[in-house]
Structure 1
Amino acid sequence: MKQTFLAAALALSFANSAYAAGEAKNIIFFLGDGMGPSTVTASRIFKYGEDGSLNMDKLERTARIKTYSNDAQTTDSAPSMAAYMTGVKMNNEVISMSPETVATPPGKDANGNLGINNCAATGNGASVATILELAKAKGKAIGSITTTELTHATPAATFSHICNRNAQYAIAAQLVPGGAGYNSALLDGVDVLMGGGRNHFLPYDASSSAGKLGRADGRNLLTELGAKGYTVSANKADMIAAPTNKKFIGLYSSKSHLEYELDRTATPPVGEGATQPSLSEMTTKAMDILSQNANGYFLMVEGGRIDHALHGTNAKRALTDTIAFDDAIKAALDKAKLTDPTLANTLIVVTADHDHTLAFNGYGKRGNPILDINRDYKTGQATKDADGNTYTTLVFGNGPNRPDLRTNLDSATVLADNYLQETGVRLASETHGGGDVKLFATGAGAKSFKGTLDNTKVFGLLKSAFGF
């Protein structure tokens, strides 16, 4: 008994020393696209109430992140995610390239679709190494999964280098080992890839449901990836059945992003939602595959549709997708702790690439539904604007839903799935916000994440956690 206790104590001491050293075998980097502080707070209240906590709230290390890009106070997703992945400031729309790279418009293919690589061999900037490429060079497994198209800005920043984020057909080509346009810094390839946008990988077919979408070069990148040893999946069932000892690519939408969580879980599900896995399921499957590598892994997980709902000023879908993202964090923590109880060898980081203009509005009564009309904390009665009309607690600084003349709002209207919150400035689409975002961390090396940090500094902390 004494020997057993001593062995346990020594094991715990070793675990704690590994944690203190900040040498992570594995890193899981969660990115909530557009998940600014107001979205985090509203999502917490939406699901757990004012006194509750999101799973990300429970991570013991926190920091504040500055997000401006090389040429703009308010960043877009491409340079912000690339800053996390490379440690380099770059211009808006540029993905994992040097600061001087200009985001020249991408060309169009023979079918009129954006996607021709417009910066290869032109002298327009140079590639800068990503943390996934560095991890791969050290013998680690790497993965990138998202609820957006796999070639969208955030996932693309992990594995590609291009001077305009909209060149998505060229971005897809960078994933095929040995193929034309391949990013050779990925060596034998990204081990796990999941998302939507299958059209970027398949040849143009005028008779297909994807219409004009598809590759004008005639390549079937999924066939090419299969020939390189990848299991290719189109739905949740395929993903579940996929072996864990092979590389994997899952593209769960034929021509766009995955469904919003609200629609994926509706009865019946909307669009292709019935066949799509949740972000939690994608995350744990990715961990199962990547953990087969004895040297460890780096996994990026994006909750990407948070951003899209915010652009559309649809707070209900934004909050629901934030909760799904938060659930994926819990799923990853639970799975990691099965083999690494103290997270001595695993670092989990959660952050956002930028803010939005969502505002938390008025002096609402505690317990009032966060999506409802605002009710006074003293009387519980609906609060009114200067013209005597009710308003919602959540509003946006800009976007498409600014009425010429405000009228009374009622609960049935504002709590509906498709309700769009009112906006201050009328624009065709709500914009990103330039404010700082939050970062949460736990596990090996998490103690280094503190204070106010530029997004480029996070890259250095990730490298340090890996001991690079």
Structure 2
Amino acid sequence: MNLKNTLLAGGAALALVAAPAHAAGKAKNVIFFLGDGMGPTTVTATRIYVYGEAGRLNMEKLPRTALIKTYSLDAQTTDSAPSMSAYMTGVKMRNEVLSMSAETVARVEADGHCAATGNGAPVRTFLELAKAAGKAVGSITTTELTHATPAATYSHICHRDLAYDIAAQAVPGGAGANPSLGTGVDVLMGGGANHWTPVNATTNPKGRPDGRDLTEELRAQGYTYVKDATGLRTLPSTTTKLFGLFSATSHMNYELDRDATKEPSLAEMTVAAIQVLKKASAADNDDQGFFLMVEGGRIDHALHGTQVQKALGDAAAFDAAIKAAVDSVDLSNTLIVVTADHDHTLAMNGYGQRGQGTHVVDVVRDPATGTPLVDGDGYPYPTLVFGNGPNRPLVRSSTDTVNVLDKNFTHLSAVRVASETHGGGDVMLMAGGADAELFKGTLDNTRVFQLLKTAAGL
């Protein structure tokens, strides 16, 4: 429980309500936090897990709130690609499409790429608008750097799975580069180094089939490249362009599995990104400020696997990154927005006993005695369950919740599917700092893009 102790020790220091209100267009800096899959029940459960029922997460101390509708152009329940793209472009698009016009179809051609013409057109992202206005820009995540959420900020593509093509778009001047990025995204960090480095049958079998080493191409353009926590913690003080990949393949580890000697926390990544962006803005952009996107991406993956403790651990780490950002900026000229791209099917049920920590991931217990309550078949059942997922016993038994407190336990589901799906419910948005008062009511995710533009004067 070291993570929770750290959060508790620093939680009282957060004070956002004192930030003065400003006229629209006064947000010199914008930090957009995206908790992937962080629906309302996940927020509630994380609060109880870390602070108890009466506590508050750092994100909940932000003074402005709204509800966000997340449906995509073709589905009641969105996937991450069109939802994050809607936040970043103001355009509804089909599931699996990234930052393209509404008519784009998620179709991969026989050659393994999107069609060169005839399948939609790029739609400018908020990151690109900020870059064009002279701001320093960054995008960081705990997922692969080419995953849907970060990719929606800097790339345009018909299908989110084309990771090698997405990576190529981030390299200024290279084949397949996104010209709207100008001199490039100033800070990029996440996992999935294989999408950026050449294939090698022995050492990098999932590497780039085109043989390019994008890390070397970026270094040649002035980027500092880091591969581990030590590299990030010992950045040269002159760094104004930062590229970090913290896993050889796939995503970074879940927070509860993270080796702090090898992988930085999301809070560390956030602080480093802000420091570099401040220097980049002052040095190269006439101090026009910065835009940073921060994704807690593995909340979503744990929920797909119905591994509740891992989801809450990553949500708590995401919340710690929010506090780290607040402590690193001036809220009189910085807007901080926290939201999610979609919900999940997680539900909190029963009339369980109150209590911080593992109580919320335990079985439902009688408030008076602490003994497990039972279902209609006479068996204990978890407080947190899923509408669908892989763990649906055909016949319940007395042993199917025995390991409920194990961090790898897959929680029970009502409908059997191989991987739990997203949920279509509204998600929460919380905002603080300059122009945060713009965010209120029930909003479409496309409307958030317009409000971000207004706040930043773009």
Contact kept? 2:240, 2:277, Cα under 8 Å? no
Supply the distance in 1 between the matched residues of 2:113 and 2:265 (Cα, whole angstroms): 32
Tell me the equivalent position of 1:259.
Answer: 253
Contact kept? 1:29, 1:350, Cα under 8 Å? yes
Query: Aligned partner of 2:177: which letter?
Result: Y
Q: Give secondary structure in 2 for the equivalent of 1:302.
A: strand
CA-CA distance at 1:404 after TM superposition: 1.1
Tell me the equivalent position of 1:281.
Answer: 268
Q: Give secondary structure in 2 for the equivalent of 1:335.
A: coil
Tell me the equivalent position of 1:459.
Answer: 449
CA-CA distance at 1:70 after TM superposition: 0.3
Supply the distance in 2 between the matched residues of 1:168 and 1:348 (Cα, whole angstroms): 29
Contact kept? 1:32, 1:306, Cα under 8 Å? yes
CA deviation vs aligned residue, 1:293-333 (integer Å, no higher than 9, x gap): 11100000000000000000000000000000000000000
Q: Which of 314, 318, 325 matches 2:311? A: 318
**Which stretch shifts more, 153-162 or 369-378?**
369-378
Supply the distance in 2 between the matched residues of 1:409 and 1:328 (Cα, whole angstroms): 38
Supply the distance in 1 between the matched residues of 2:192 and 2:110 (Cα, whole angstroms): 19
Tell me the equivalent position of 1:8.
Answer: none
Q: Give secondary structure in 1 for the equivalent of 2:361.
A: coil
Q: Give secondary structure in 2 for the equivalent of 1:417.
A: coil
Q: Which runs of 5+ in 1 are unaligned?
A: 1-14, 109-115
Contact kept? 2:219, 2:225, Cα under 8 Å? yes
CA-CA distance at 1:236 after TM superposition: 1.2
Q: Which of 262, 271, 288 matches 1:295? A: 288
CA-CA distance at 1:21 after TM superposition: 3.8
Tell me the equivalent position of 1:49.
Answer: 52
Supply the distance in 2 between the matched residues of 1:380 and 1:332 (Cα, whole angstroms): 39
Query: Aligned partner of 1:403: which letter?
Result: P
Q: Which of 161, 168, 171 matches 1:173? A: 168
Supply the distance in 2 between the matched residues of 1:49 and 1:24 (Cα, whole angstroms): 34
Tell me the equivalent position of 1:64.
Answer: 67
Cα RMSD, aligned residues only = 1.4
Q: Which runs of 5+ in 2 are unaligned?
A: 1-18, 282-286
Map 1:214-233; keep pairs closer than 5 Å: 214-233=207-226
Query: Aligned partner of 2:267: which letter?
Result: S
Tell me the equivalent position of 2:348.
Answer: 360
Tell me the equivalent position of 1:3.
Answer: none
Tell me the equivalent position of 1:112.
Answer: none
Q: TM-score, normalised by structure 2?
A: 0.92
Q: Which of 216, 220, 242 matches 2:235? A: 242
Q: Give secondary structure in 2 for the equivalent of 1:462.
A: helix
CA-CA distance at 1:410 after TM superposition: 8.0
CA-CA distance at 1:106 after TM superposition: 5.9
Tell me the equivalent position of 2:394.
Answer: 404
Q: 1:382 to 1:410 in 2, by over 3 A?
A: farther
Q: Give secondary structure in 1 for the equivalent of 2:103.
A: coil
Contact kept? 2:20, 2:433, Cα under 8 Å? no
Supply the distance in 2 between the matched residues of 1:48 and 1:288 (Cα, whole angstroms): 29
Supply the distance in 2 between the matched residues of 1:410 and 1:96 (Cα, whole angstroms): 43
CA-CA distance at 1:275 after TM superposition: 1.1
CA-CA distance at 1:380 after TM superposition: 3.4
CA deviation vs aligned residue, 1:118-165 (integer Å, no higher than 9, x gap): 13x221000000000000000000000000000000000000000000
Percent identical:
64
Query: Aligned partner of 2:114: which letter?
Result: N
CA deviation vs aligned residue, 1:402-434 (integer Å, no higher than 9, x gap): 001111258751101111101000000000000
Q: Which of 277, 288, 297 matches 1:304? A: 297
Equivalences, count:
431
Map 1:311-460; keep pairs closer than 5 Å: 311-336=304-329, 340=330, 343-367=331-355, 369-409=359-399, 413-460=403-450
Q: Give secondary structure in 2 for the equivalent of 1:291.
A: helix
**Which stretch shifts more, 386-395 or 359-368?**
359-368
Q: Who wins on radius of gyration, i.e. which is larger?
A: 1
Q: Give secondary structure in 2 for the equivalent of 1:282.
A: helix
Query: Aligned partner of 2:245: which letter?
Result: L
Contact kept? 1:106, 1:167, Cα under 8 Å? no
Tell me the equivalent position of 2:143.
Answer: 148
Supply the distance in 1 between the matched residues of 2:374 and 2:450 (Cα, whole angstroms): 49
CA deviation vs aligned residue, 1:84-137 (integer Å, no higher than 9, x gap): 0000000000000001100003657xxxxxxx4313x22100000000000000
Query: Aligned partner of 2:451: which letter?
Result: L
Supply the distance in 1 between the matched residues of 2:376 and 2:20 (Cα, whole angstroms): 58
